[in-house]
Structure 1
C-alpha cells in the first residue's frame, strides 16, 4: 500500500534517546520504548577486522568466538545458561569496523544480564585448551566459506577493488594467521581495542534510563581511557579495473561492479547513495531490474547494495545471467549508467518511500533500535534515529543526476566477470 505524501515527508520522532559519556570515554545511549516486551543490551567496540595489524588477520572474529568460552568468573557455557535462565537470548557479530555483543532480556532481569554481559566481554579467560579447540571451529568456518562460490566471488571483488585496505581481506581471516595465534596475542589485541573511548553501550526498551546508575558503577567505568589512540588505517581508495575468474560449481555467470564513496560520517551522501542504489537496483520498477530482467530478459537477478562503512562506503552491483548473455548484460549496464535520462519525479517518490520505510521499519524492534543507536554513537554521530530522513529530502532529481549518478561511471568501478568453470 502506498504511503501518502505527508507520511513520506514527515520525520516521525522515533524513540527518545539519552546520550551520556563516562569519565573514561565510554559512550552510553538509552532508547525509551515503553511498550516493548523486551530490553536489549548492546555492547559495541571499535574492534572490527580493519583494526587488525599484520599477523592478526582474523583476530577480531576469533576473539568474538573466544568471549563465549568463559571469563575470569564464568566458566564456558555459564553465560548462555544464565541468560537463558533469565528468559533471554544472546548473540554477537563482527564486521569490518566494529564488533558487538547483545542480549535480549525481560526488563525485570536487565540489570543482572548487563553485569553478566560486561563480565563476559571485558574479562575473557582466553585459556589455552579452549583457544585451541575454538580455533578449529573458526578454521572449519573458513573452509565452509571457501566452499561457497557465491561468497568467493564477492570476496574476490573486494580483494581486487581494495587490495591495500583491510576491507579487501576476509573478516574471518587467513588460515596461516590463525594457526600462528596464541592466547597472549589475543590478550594484547583485547587490551589494545577494548578501551574506554572505543566502547559504547546501548540500552533500548522499557525504563531504559533506569540502568544509567548501574552502568556508571559497572565494569565499563573501569576500562582504561585511551589517552594515546592507536593509529587507524587510512581512508579507502578503490582500484578500478576489469577482472575475470572461473569457479567450479558456480550456478550462473556473474557481472559484479564495485564503487567507493565518502565514509559513513557523511550522512547526506549516504542517504543520496541509498536513494540512488534503490532507484537503480531495488524492485521490479528500478532502472536496471526493469531493463535487464523484465524487458530484455537476459538477467536472472539484479542486486545493488550500499555498505555504509567508516573508512569509505561501498556500492556493489551483482547480476546473475547465462554465460552467453554476459556481453549483452555488461553493455546494457554501461548504457544505463552512462546515458540514462535523469530520474523522474515518480521514480524519486518511489525511491524515497523505499529508503524512508527501511528506516522507519528498523524502529519496530528493540534490537534494531539499540544497534542503530549504538553504531551512530560509537562513531561520533549522536542523533535522533530518523534524522537521516531530513537528508533524504534534499536529494532532488537534478542533484542526483549531477552529484551522485556520475560517480557510478563504469570505468570508475572495479569490475569482475565470474563464470562457471567449463562453461563459456
Structure 2
C-alpha cells in the first residue's frame, strides 16, 4: 500500500504594493503572532558612501535615534517602550534597517513614530558631537579586538579597492571630519523612494496598516528625479576576489587562526545561494560535517572550525575560520586543503546532502515562526526587488543534487582560489 503524499507546507503569502513615489510596501499576516514587526529598509549601507563619507552610514544609524523634527532626543525610545514595544537597527555593507516590535493595537502609532524618526532626523549639532564620540569609541573597541582586526585585514586583502574591503564603522579621520551638513546630504541622497521598502509582519490582518501607510509620511519621500545626482549611487563594481596567502601577527591574540574567504554568486542568484548554503553546511555544520569531523573530532587539531556564507549584493563571501594552537598551523592548513580537494573525488553522499538540506530547511522554517524574521526577510527582498513566496527557498533547496553541487559549487571552494590569512600571536 503506497504511503500517503506529504501535505504541502502552507505559509502566509506576502502582499506587496508600491506607493506612487516607488516605495515598496510588503505585509505578511501571521494570525497567531502576538506582536507586529515594522521593518524599514534602505539601500544606504557603507558601500554607498563616497571616500569622504567613510563610516557615515553607520553614524547616521546612531543619529536617527537622537530625535527628529517632531521627536526630542530619547523620546522615540520612551514612547515605543510605553506602548509595550522595542526597537533596534543595523547597518551592513549594502543596506540599513530599522525595526520595531509592538503589540498589534499600538502598530499605527508606532509606524508613525518610526517613519518620522527615519525620514526626518534632526541631526542637532550638540547630539552630533556627543554621538561622534560614541562611534569613535566603538571603532576603538573594534581596533582593540585582535579577532576583529584580523577579520578586517582579510577583507582588505581579499577585496582591494572594493567597498566590501572597507570597514562599515569607517575611517577614523573621516569620522572626525564628519559634520551634520555632510550627514544631511547623505540622508537626502540615499533615503529616497526607490531606495526604500517597508515590511509589516505579524497579526496585521485586521489593522489596515497598508491604508495607514498610504496616508503616512512615506508618500512624501522624494523619488530619484526629484533629487540631485548621487555620487555614491553609481553602479557598484563587481566583486573580483584577490586570492593569495598572507601572514599576520597580533598582540593579545589567545589562539592562532586561519581565515579563508572565497567569492560566491551575488544575492540576486537565489538558486546559487541555496546551493552554496547547502555546501557550507555540509562542510562545517555539526560534528558529522566534513571539516569538523576531520579536524576537530578525528585529528583534534582545532578548537573550532566554521564556514559561513555572507550573502551580499555585489558578490557573496564564504568565510572559513579555524582556531588552534600555533604549533598546529601547518597541519591545520594542509588538512583543510586536503578535505576540500577530496570533495571532487569523494563526493558528498546522498545522506550527507539530505542532512545538510534538513539543517538549512529547518533553520529557515524556525525563522518563519517569528514576526521579526519574516519582516526582515520580506523587507530585504522587497528592497532589492526579489520578493518571492515564503516557501521558495525550500523549493530551491530541494532542487540541488550531489551532481549539481559537484558541477556548480565544489569548484568555487578550490583552496587555490581563496584569500588566506594565517594569524599568529605576536
Common fold by TM > 0.5: yes
Specify every segment of 5 or more residues in structure 2 that has no aligned partner in the other structure, as ranges: none
Deviation, 1:416, is 0.3
Give runs of aligned pairs for residues 372-383 of structure 1, distance below 5 A: 372-383=377-388
Pair 1:277–1:11, CA change in 2 (3 A) = farther
Whole-Å Cα distance in 2 between the matches of residues 202 and 408 of structure 1? 35
Task: Look up the match of 1:260.
Answer: 263
Stretches (4+) displaced over 6 A: 4-7
Task: Look up the match of 1:300.
Answer: 303
Give runs of aligned pairs for residues 65-104 of structure 1, distance below 5 A: 65-104=62-101
Aligned: 1:17 with 2:11: no
Task: Look up the match of 2:200.
Answer: 203
Task: Look up the match of 2:340.
Answer: 337
Aligned: 1:410 with 2:408: no
Whole-Å Cα distance in 2 between the matches of residues 351 and 339 of structure 1? 18
Aligned: 1:318 with 2:316: no
Whole-Å Cα distance in 2 between the matches of residues 196 and 5 of structure 1? 49
Give runs of aligned pairs for residues 162-181 of structure 1, distance below 5 A: 162-181=159-178
What are the Cα deviations for residues 252-307 of structure 1, in whole angstroms up to 9, with x where unaligned?
11111100111100000000000000001111100000000111111110100000
Q: TM-score, normalised by structure 1?
A: 0.96
Give runs of aligned pairs for residues 4-403 of structure 1, distance below 5 A: 12-208=9-205, 210-227=208-225, 230-340=233-343, 341-403=346-408
Count of residue correspondences: 416
Whole-Å Cα distance in 2 between the matches of residues 156 and 339 of structure 1? 29
Q: TM-score, normalised by structure 2?
A: 0.95
SS at match of 2:129: helix
8 Å contact kept, 1:150–1:250: yes
What are the Cα deviations for residues 171-219 of structure 1, in whole angstroms up to 9, with x where unaligned?
1111100001110000000000000010000001112561011101111
SS at match of 1:238: coil
8 Å contact kept, 1:41–1:114: yes
Deviation, 1:386, is 2.2
Whole-Å Cα distance in 1 between the matches of residues 339 and 237 of structure 2? 33
Pair 1:317–1:119, CA change in 2 (3 A) = same
Deviation, 1:165, is 0.7
What are the Cα deviations for residues 64-85 of structure 1, in whole angstroms up to 9, with x where unaligned?
0000011011110111111111
Deviation, 1:12, is 2.1
Pair 1:100–1:11, CA change in 2 (3 A) = farther
Pair 1:6–1:309, CA change in 2 (3 A) = farther
8 Å contact kept, 1:11–1:389: no
Pair 1:169–1:293, CA change in 2 (3 A) = same
Pair 1:188–1:251, CA change in 2 (3 A) = same
Whole-Å Cα distance in 2 between the matches of residues 266 and 11 of structure 1? 25
What are the Cα deviations for residues 339-382 of structure 1, in whole angstroms up to 9, with x where unaligned?
23100011011000011011101111110110001001111111
